[in-house]
Amino acid sequence: MDGLRGFASTLSDLLGLRMIEWRDGFARIACDLAPHHLNRANIIHGGVLLTLIDEVGAAAGVWCATAGHRRHSVTVNLNGHFTGRVEAGRIIASGTMVSRGRSLYHSRAEVVDEQGHLLAFGSSTHRWRTGDQRLEGTPVG
């Protein structure tokens, strides 16, 4: 599963985010909630939900078809809406790329709890770094 490890970042490691499914145009990320994911009311922090929407939306557009290569993008717009709350358990974020141009792509995302209850949804726009529009990506390093 080398391609799944290719998306990890320091922030995703810190938050305990794990890519569980990844292909061109789609990504799914899991997170097992811990005390550091909660706000002062002991429910999931909105920043964690927005981070998941951002990460999974970005990932949907940067899956790479070539071993030893990666694709990169930067977020240029992000919005999210909170629809539920959770205090513990596993949450799952799913993101789908809905359109792509020469340098930008747009994604939709949702975050659900273990029972499938919607916690948040949103959309994002990302800009590929030069050369990363292609599925082949660019060499690492």
Sorted by where each starts, the structural domains of the chain and their CATH numbers stand as 2-135 (3.10.129.10)
6 confidence band (pLDDT: 50, 70, 90): low
Q: Please report the pLDDT score of residue 8 as a whole number.
A: 73
Position 5 pLDDT exceeds 80: no
> Rounded to an integer, what distance in angstroms lies between the CA atom of residue 36 and that of residue 39?
8
User: What's residue 141's pLDDT?
Assistant: 75
Residue 1 has pLDDT above 60, yes or no: no
Q: CB under 8 Å to 63, separation ≥6 — which residues?
A: 3, 22, 23, 24, 25, 26, 27, 71, 135
- For a pLDDT cut of 90, what percent of the chain falls above it? 79
Question: Are 57 and 108 within 8 A, CB to CB?
Answer: yes
Choose between 116 and 68: higher pLDDT. Answer: 116
pLDDT digits (tens, 9 = 90+) for 98-110: 999 999 999 999 9
DSSP 35: G
